[in-house]
Amino acid sequence: MELLYGPIKDYAWGSRCAIAELQGRPVPSEGPEAELWLGAHPGAPASVDRDGGRVALTEVLAADPAGWLGQRVVDRFGARLPFLLKVLAAAAPLSLQAHPDAEQARAGYAADDARCDGHRNYVDPFHKPELLVALGPMEALCGFRDPAVSAEVLAGLGVPALGPVLDALDAGAAGLAEAVRLLLTWPAADRAGLVAAVRKAAVVGPDAELVELLAEAYPADPGVVVALLLNRVRLAPGEAIWMPAGNLHAYLRGTGVEVMAASDNVLRGGLTRKRVDVAELLRVLRFEVLDQPVVAPRPVADGVVTWPVPVADFALHRVTVGRQPEVTLTVPGPWLVLCTSGQVDVADVVAPVTLGPGQAAVGSAAGGSLTVSGAGEVYVASPGLC
């Protein structure tokens, strides 16, 4: 194992406290700190110590892909680390977004290469399923709720302009696509009026806080109303949400550990000032009701829990030591390890490292098993290959 140094993304919605507090730096930070990236994604690769300086992990992997990744990973995913580990810290809502599946990503990336206008929806040819585990209380929108519930909420607002949306929702799940299309393509000249009417009507309703939170930031964005079609999720520490391809979601606030396939493909539909392509988003969305968006941790050994996901790109385990002084994790490498509390020693057959809160390490597939000791907590990302 060796220490890993991750860059921090300064997106405007980021917290000025969460990542700085985790890493023991002065609070508040100079600017927003939204995401700590730990991995080898070319958009923001982490680095390791080499010859008195730091070298990007992408360069280290490129020099010996089979040695670092293992032949099974190379055969399945190519000469690249197939997963990315992040700390996400949201002080304000993120955009309404979804991610493509593998086939959509490959086709979309190729189509964007052929475009002449310079606009891109796809920055790489890979899918981006995600799992987020809350480090503290966290709120998000995740997946469509029962259209009957959404219809009742919207009807209760008493906003006449929403009549066509209610008609679509009356068709149940089959009408979700039309309801979302109507809202996201709402005439630009009427959007501020729609949001204002919904904001006024929701003052005494169960979704008043959500509407106010979103409308304050985006007073002319129909995504404020689309949010009322989604499950509002409140996560306790250790609970997770799983976001497969086509799942419409948005983080509202809070801090979590996020693991995903190593991609940066994001299709946005609203609540953002970044590029929005409604037609492409509608094409990749899965208009299915998500009855239970929350994933509870599953114990797999003393001091070890996981959150099973149906992809081969990654797996995530949380290891807690102290009461259990030493834990050996037998999942295959390569590993990305993030310490979130205490002080722990993390060792493979190559070398041990000591980690404190906010510090990370990386180990190659040649490292054998992973042993964690000391007193604290770490999250371990690894390939999901059995």
C-alpha span between 324 and 128 (Å, rounded): 34
C-alpha span between 92 and 13 (Å, rounded): 5
Helix, strand, coil percentages in the chain from 3-state DSSP, rounded to 5: 30, 35, 40
C-alpha span between 364 and 314 (Å, rounded): 15
**DSSP state, 333?**
S
Q: Which residues are annotated as a binding site?
A: 97, 99, 130, 249
Strand partners, 54: 49
**DSSP state, 235?**
E
Q: Which residues are annotated as a binding site for Zn(2+)?
A: 97, 99, 130, 249
Which segments of 208-353 does DSSP mark as H helices, in order?
208-217, 223-226, 278-284
Residue of 80, 145, 199, 268 with catalytic role: 268
Contact 338, 379 (CB under 8 A): yes
CB atoms within 10 A of CB 154: 22
**For residue 4, which of 86, 65, 72, 63 has the smallest C-alpha distance?**
86
Residue 200 φ then ψ, to 5° = -65, -45
Q: Which residue has tokens 């993304």?
A: 9
Contact 225, 90 (CB under 8 A): no
> Does residue 268 carry a catalytic annotation?
yes
Q: Which residues are catalytic?
A: 268
